[in-house]
Amino acid sequence: MGRVSDDTRGQRATTGPARPAPRPTGPQRPLYVSGLVGALWCVGIGLAVLVTITLAGWIAAPRTALGHGLPGVFRTAVNFWLVSHHAGFSYGGGRIGLLPLGLLVLPGVLLHRSGGWIIRSAGAARSSRRGVLHVAIALAVPYAALAGLLALAASSPRVKPSAWQALLTCFLVAAIAGGLGAARALVASRGRVRSGLGALLRLLPPRAGSLVIGVTGALAVLLGSGAILVGASLALHMSEATRQYDMLAPGIVGTVLLLVVELAYLPNAVIWGASYAIGPGFAVGAGSSVSATGVFLDSVPVFPPLAALPDPGPAPALSLVALAAPFLAGIIGGTLTMRALPTRGYEIAPLWGFATGALTGGVAAVLAALSGGPLGGARMATVGPSAWQVGLLAALEVGISAALAAWLTNWRIQRRPEAPPARPVPPRAPAPAPAPAPRTQPKQTGPYTPPLMEFEEAEPILTPRRQARRRPRPQEEARAETAEPETEATPEAPEPEEVRELTEPLPAEAPAPNGDGPTENRGGAIYVLRNDPRD
């Protein structure tokens, strides 16, 4: 009663008017040639932006800070470009792996647009799910090869980029961003689409799409709680952030560059806050810990965003409220999963809810690993949250609450009465034709035009004649005498006829007719015709 199966909901999600895929307007080139062109375009624009920023910093900062001469500036810009893809490098006696996630926006946007352009230039031959995969590979392979060459070219005795990380991370970033751009362009050619996530959901199977919706909702709650924690803590420690800024004394250009770096590290700080809400917290150096169980810190680098760290000792009591965020994320994730696609069996719904929590834990572990990393050698070799601890606790906390929420949501959906089938809408009857307008008599404009006369049907003056009675013949009279006398039937009186008055509208200025002039008999009425005296 009121149950909706997976297949039925999947059919509803895929129904709709489909538009033909756009055909290329120009000459069609091979796919991998388009991929190479798109990769060169993304690398060139990305390097141009970072070289400009690096050159401005090189002018404002000491000459040796960002390299010796213009070749050194170019190597530094290439290293920044590799860092924007999350490829680490070695500097002096340690390795730098704590990289800003905010810089991923620049190559991500460029690769997203390039993926859409490639699939549009390929035309109808690539208008399928497999075509999206081909476009992603065609863009990622040359992009990763160019990144490896740039890593080798930017290597110096002091700074050595990791070539294998450059190949791996650039390939993944190009494949994901370019694939999403191609998927959005493909779906947009068939209908209206608002975001890349909506395009991805239309290409995925129904059940996979429901899991993506649930995981996205759960991650939004976790990251939102982390952002609230970071913002509240930074507001409480604003005086310490101001003191560290005064210690750096960056100047005008340095302040702008410092603001850019702080914004680039903002996603890392949000993920650290989410790790605190999940439970394990994070570390700022070996032997340190910032979690709900307590705060243990040593010396911290001078960086204004690090002023948001709580003071050593017990965790702030207000921050313990954030520990409810994983359970709230599980409730929202399980509810969204079942609302997107309910299931027939009551015992299957909790399994799908727990699968949502497990996938959320996996994504949280990846984000925790990307947000942290070494910051040199010795004690600062351990910075950030532990990926496996964050992933495990997130999978358990989010998974259990998501399983309960999924079961309850699916049970409520199954108990709903089935909606009656929609009645066919009858076709609209054509509108009746407008009635013809009554004819109006033309106006008399001439001075000698006689007035029109209206006549009514005249009633006869004389009554109709009665039929004369026929005299009986002698033979009939003899028969009548011998026959029995019959009672004569009384004749019925004739019905009075309706008397109508004869009216003759005359103009106001004309005198009443007298006996002069010619006459005319019309329907039993006698009319006197007179000429107009104005004649």
Same domain as 259, residue 286? yes
What does pTM read for this prediction? 0.71
- The CA distance from 331 to 337, in Å, is 10
Query: Are the C-beta atoms of residues 480 and 472 closer than 8 Å to each other?
Result: yes
Does 173 share its domain with 254? no
What would the two tokens of residue 130 be? 């497999």
Structure-block tokens of residue 454: 């209206």
Gap between the Cα atoms of 185 and 482, Å rounded: 118
180 and 155, same domain (yes or no): yes
Does residue 360 fall inside a structural domain? yes
297 with 165, same domain: the answer is no
Residues 411 and 269 in one domain: yes
Nearest C-alpha neighbor of 60 from the set 245, 206, 236, 252? 252
Whether residue 492 lies inside any domain: the answer is no
- How distant, in Å, are the alpha carbons of 43, 84, 410 from that of 153? 14, 17, 57
- In a domain? residue 422: no
Q: Tell me, what's the pLDDT at 378?
A: 75
Shared-domain flag, residues 199 and 214: no
Is residue 259 classed as helix, strand or coil in its secondary structure?
helix
In this structure, what DSSP letter does residue 464 have? Answer: P
> By C-alpha distance, which of 111, 237, 245 is closest to 185?
111
What is the C-alpha to C-alpha distance for residues 7 and 354, in angstroms, rounded to an integer? 21
The domain boundary residue, chosen from 361, 387, 415: 415
Amino acid at 432: P
User: Which backbone phi and psi does 521 adopt, to 5 degrees?
Assistant: -95, 120
- What secondary structure does DSSP assign to 21-57, as a single string? PPPPSS----HHHHHHHHHHHHHHHHHHHHHHHHHHH
**CB within 8 A of 301, min separation 6: which ones?**
375, 380
In this structure, are 186 and 235 located in the same domain?
A: no
Cβ contact 354:391 at 8 Å: no
Which two tokens mark 169? 């991370």
**Domain tally for the chain?**
2
In a domain, 362, yes or no: yes
Rounded distance, CA 519 to CA 126, Å?
A: 99
Cα 229 from Cα 322, distance rounded (Å): 8
The candidate with the shortest Cα–Cα distance to 173, out of 195, 197, 153, 147, is 147
10's CB contacts (< 8 A; 6+ apart) are 205, 206, 207, 341
pLDDT, tens digit only, all 535 positions of the chain: 444 444 444 444 444 444 444 444 455 678 888 999 999 999 999 999 988 888 877 777 655 566 667 778 888 889 889 998 988 888 776 788 888 999 999 999 999 999 989 988 876 445 677 888 899 999 999 999 999 999 998 888 888 888 899 999 999 999 999 988 888 888 877 766 666 666 677 778 888 989 999 999 999 999 999 999 999 999 988 998 889 888 888 778 778 888 988 999 999 999 999 999 999 999 998 888 898 888 888 888 888 888 888 888 888 877 788 889 999 999 999 999 999 888 887 788 999 999 999 999 999 999 999 998 888 777 788 888 999 999 999 999 999 999 999 999 998 888 877 666 666 666 666 666 666 656 555 555 555 555 555 555 555 555 555 655 666 565 655 555 555 554 444 555 555 555 444 444 444 444 444 545 566 766 666 766 666 555 5
Specify if 522 maps to a domain: no
β-partners of residue 67 are none
SS3 for 522?
Answer: strand
DSSP secondary structure, 278-313, as one string: HSS-BEESTT-EEETTEEE-------GGGGGSPPSB
Question: Is the domain of 89 the same as that of 193?
Answer: yes
Q: Are residues 213 and 178 in the same domain?
A: no
The Cβ of residue 394 has, within 10 Å, a number of other Cβ atoms equal to 32
Containing structural domain, residue 141: 31-203
Q: Which of 369, 394, 415 is the last residue of a domain?
A: 415
Instruction: Among 203, 221, 248, give the residue marking a domain's end.
Output: 203
d(CA 533, CA 516): 13
With tokens 């991923």, the residue in question is 104
Instruction: Give kind and range of the element (H or E) at residue 528.
Output: strand 525-528
Domain check: are 217 and 264 in the same one? Answer: yes
The verdict on residue 454 lying in a domain is no
Domain membership flag for residue 457: no
Q: Are residues 134 and 263 in the same domain?
A: no
Q: Who contacts 8 (Cβ-Cβ below 8 Å, separation ≥6)?
A: none
Helix (H, G, I), strand (E, B) or coil at 131: helix
> What b-and-e string marks burial along 279-304, b requiring 16 or more CB atoms within 10 Å of the CB?
bbbbbbbeebbbbbeebbbeeeeeeb
Q: Do both 182 and 227 map to the same domain?
A: no
DSSP string, 145-202: HHHHHHHHHT--SSEEE-HHHHHHHHHHHHHHHHHHHHHHHHHHTTS---SHHHHHHH
In a domain, 131, yes or no: yes
